[in-house]
Amino acid sequence: MKSGFVSIIGRPNVGKSTLLNAIIGEKVAITADKPQTTRNRIRGIYNEKGIQIVFIDTPGIARPRNKLGAYMTDQALTTFEEVDVILFVVDEMLGSRGGDQFILERLRESKTPKLLAINKMDRMGPEEYKKIYDEYERTGVFSEIFGVSALKGDNVAILLDALKGLVPEGPAYFPEGVFTDLPERFLAGEIIREKMLHYLRDEVPHGVAIEIEAFAEKPNMTEISAVIYTEKKTHKGIIIGKDGHTLKGIGKSARLELEALLGARVHLGLWVKVKENWRDNGRILGALGYRE
């Protein structure tokens, strides 16, 4: 039996969560075309006969602007020496945007085996891909470099085969058929937040947090009550929308996905409350699950 842990790291919005979902074959992490979608470490579990790999999808590494940002960066960096393999995901030239050079320097200091995935190949031509490949190859940091399209699934299986070859012998940490160790309550909050990322304009979703106040499984239905916290009163109005239409759309979209996840009818109640500057309030961050 082979088993091990792989940390997926990179800047915000390079497609780490999409890649994790493509590898696992199940939706483990929420995705959106906005940076810093992932806030916590998300664990996805890949199983096949004789091998188990626990993937850790980390928040995008960026310069922190508040306590939440510092928490997210720490969540990513502290995995470097806790795993068997580090998978660094990029989507453009080194230094095109802030963060890659910072991550690269931290990787140089780590003795953990490292692979590079150049994601979003479907959006770049051969010459652009070769430039990115050559630039990272010259760093000498990575044992192998792969070009993938997480969205389309291109070369994901090849990357997975390489990862299988790097994990050591070990026990199965989770039962067969389990694809994440995250509780359904947590997944419910993440699904609601994902729908907000899709429904709302850029500045609003990153100032929101979801607290699941009640999660009750009954014979014919699962009842979920959730509070959406936002930092600004003006954002509360945007989230609710005219005549409540935006909040209703978020709720319906989240409910349908939750019903598919849970295999049961769901009654979802959403409320919106203002907690000013919650991203810089350590007590509130702890209460919402963002703990050291």
pTM over 0.75? The answer is no
Helix (H, G, I), strand (E, B) or coil at 120: coil
Structure tokens, 214: 């009640």
Give pLDDT, residue 193. 84
Give pLDDT, residue 39. 44
Q: What is the pLDDT along the chain (292 residues), one digit of tens a residue?
A: 999 989 888 887 888 888 988 998 877 765 545 444 444 456 788 999 999 998 887 755 545 454 444 545 555 556 666 789 999 999 998 876 657 887 888 889 888 999 999 999 999 999 999 999 999 999 999 999 999 999 999 999 999 999 999 999 999 888 888 888 777 888 888 889 888 888 876 556 567 888 888 989 888 899 999 999 888 888 898 899 889 999 999 999 999 988 887 778 999 999 999 988 777 777 767 666 665 4
Q: What domains does the chain contain, in order, with CATH numbers?
A: 2-166 (3.40.50.300), 184-287 (3.30.300.20)
**Bridge partner list, 226:** 212, 270
**Spatial separation of the C-alpha atoms in residues 212 and 225, rounded to whole Å:** 6
Give pLDDT, residue 189. 86
Residues near 80 by Cβ (< 8 Å), separated by ≥ 6? 7, 9, 86, 106, 107, 110, 112
Structure tokens, 28: 């483990």
